[in-house]
């Protein structure tokens, strides 16, 4: 019995210690004087985590918008309220689906790649040799990736929403014959720019920070072997997905739950 409690205590300390370490890590990486060199490093990571993720995000967004319109239509038509389709598609995308699904896709596509890349740099001693040359790898390697992720995911989320709303338009208006004016009109009168688009963006930024942070920290902190890299990559995807879904509930409760 005592042994179990001891064990639990030790686990707790380990978790706290890891949290502290990753917090310090985040603080040390995020600060730094941006230079022209740093700007260019950031640009390269933007290409890697942002531009290369566009295809998967847009394709998923299109399908999700189409499915939303299809499902929404079959339910709304029973109440004679198919004019509300545009509003339903837009609100579900902007408030929930775009930030969450884009973040999950981002964790799988870019987060795991970031972990593997940094892990490989650690395993091949590139990080150590950088330190020996007198360059801080937190600034040089980690910071550009952190900032690129932080900027790229909200942009991807915007793309997801836009193409999802367009997918809903294709299915709802072009295929199922909802009146075009009420699709856009219903949307315009019920979507608030600050309240819905803005809050969705805030969610997306929080997710971006958390997912990229988890990804780079797992890469930096892993055991530098082939097995360690594969484990850390899995951990990145699992931890970031859980963190995104959990945080989404908290943020939704604060933003839309009427506690304000």
Partner 1 sequence: MKRSKTMELGVGLFMLAGILGLLFLGLRVSGLTFNMPGDTFRLEANFANIGSLKPRARVTMSGVTVGRVTAIELDRDWYDARVILELDAELEGRLARDTTAAILTAGLLGEQYIGLTVGGDPEMLVDGDTIRDTQSALVLEELIQQFVSNMVSD
Partner 2 sequence: MIESPLVEVKGLHFSRGEKTIFSGVELQIPRGRITAIMGPSGTGKTTLLKLIGGQLTPDVGRVLIDGQDVHGLSRKALFTLRRRMGMLFQSGALFSDLSVFENVAFPLRVHTELPEAMIRDLVLMKLQAVGLRGARELMPSELSGGMARRVALARAIALDPDLVLYDEPFVGQDPISKGVLVQLIKTLNDALGLTSVVVSHDIPEALSIADYVYVIADGQVMAQGTPASLDVDEDRRVSQFVHGEPDGPVPFHYPAPEYFRDILDLEGRP
Q: Which of 64, 179, 35 is CA-nearest to residue 187?
A: 179
Question: Which residue number, 87 or 233, has a Cβ lying nearer to partner 1?
Answer: 87
SS3 content of the chain, % helix, strand, coil (to 5): 90, 0, 10
Nearest distance from residue 225's CB to partner 2, in Å?
13
Q: Look up residue 52 and give its DSSP letter.
A: G
Q: Which of 101, 106, 72 is CA-nearest to residue 87?
A: 72
Window 134-163: contact mask with partner 2 (x via CB under 8 A): xx----------------------------
C-beta of residue 86 within 8 angstroms of C-beta of residue 133: no
Question: Which residue number, 103 or 229, has a Cβ lying nearer to partner 1?
Answer: 103
Q: Which does 19 bind (CB under 5 to 8 A by kind): partner 2, partner 1, none?
A: none
Window 43-62: contact mask with partner 2 (x via CB under 8 A): -x------------------
Question: Which residue number, 146 or 243, has a Cβ lying nearer to partner 1?
Answer: 146
Enter the tokens of residue 166: 């367009």
Question: Which residue number, 62 or 123, has a Cβ lying nearer to partner 1?
Answer: 62
Residue 234 sits in the site that holds partner 2 (CB under 8 A): no
Q: Which does 130 bind (CB under 5 to 8 A by kind): partner 2, partner 1, none?
A: partner 2
Q: Which of 34, 23, 232, 21 is CA-nearest to residue 139?
A: 34
Q: Report the C-alpha gap between 126 and 132 in whole angstroms.
A: 10
Residues that bind partner 2 (CB under 8 A): 37, 44, 120-121, 124-126, 128-135
């Amino acid at each position: 019995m005592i042994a179990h409690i001891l064990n639990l205590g030790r686990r707790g300390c380990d978790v706290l210690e890891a949290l502290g370490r990753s917090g310090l890590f985040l603080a040390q990486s995020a600060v730094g004087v941006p230079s022209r060199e740093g700007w260019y490093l950031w640009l390269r990571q933007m290409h890697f985590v942002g531009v290369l993720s566009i295809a998967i995000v847009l394709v998923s967004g299109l399908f999700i918008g189409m499915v939303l319109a299809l499902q929404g239509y079959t339910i709304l038509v029973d109440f004679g309220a198919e004019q509300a389709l545009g509003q339903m598609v837009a609100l579900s995308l902007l408030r929930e689906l775009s930030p969450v699904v884009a973040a999950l896709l981002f964790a799988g596509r870019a987060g795991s790649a970031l972990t593997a890349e940094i892990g490989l740099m650690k395993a091949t001693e590139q990080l150590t040799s950088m330190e020996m040359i007198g360059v801080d790898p937190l600034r040089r390697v980690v910071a550009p990736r952190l900032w690129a992720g932080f900027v790229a995911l909200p942009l991807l989320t915007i793309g997801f929403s836009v193409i999802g709303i367009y997918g809903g338009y294709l299915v709802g208006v072009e295929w199922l014959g909802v009146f075009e004016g009420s699709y856009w009109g219903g949307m315009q009168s019920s979507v608030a720019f600050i309240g819905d688009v803005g809050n969705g963006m805030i969610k997306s930024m929080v997710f971006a920070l958390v997912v990229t942070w988890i990804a780079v920290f797992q890469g930096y902190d892993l055991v530098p072997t082939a097995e360690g890299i594969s484990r850390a990559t899995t951990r990145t995807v699992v931890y970031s997905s859980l963190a995104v879904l959990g945080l989404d509930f908290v943020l939704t409760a604060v933003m839309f739950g009427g506690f304000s």
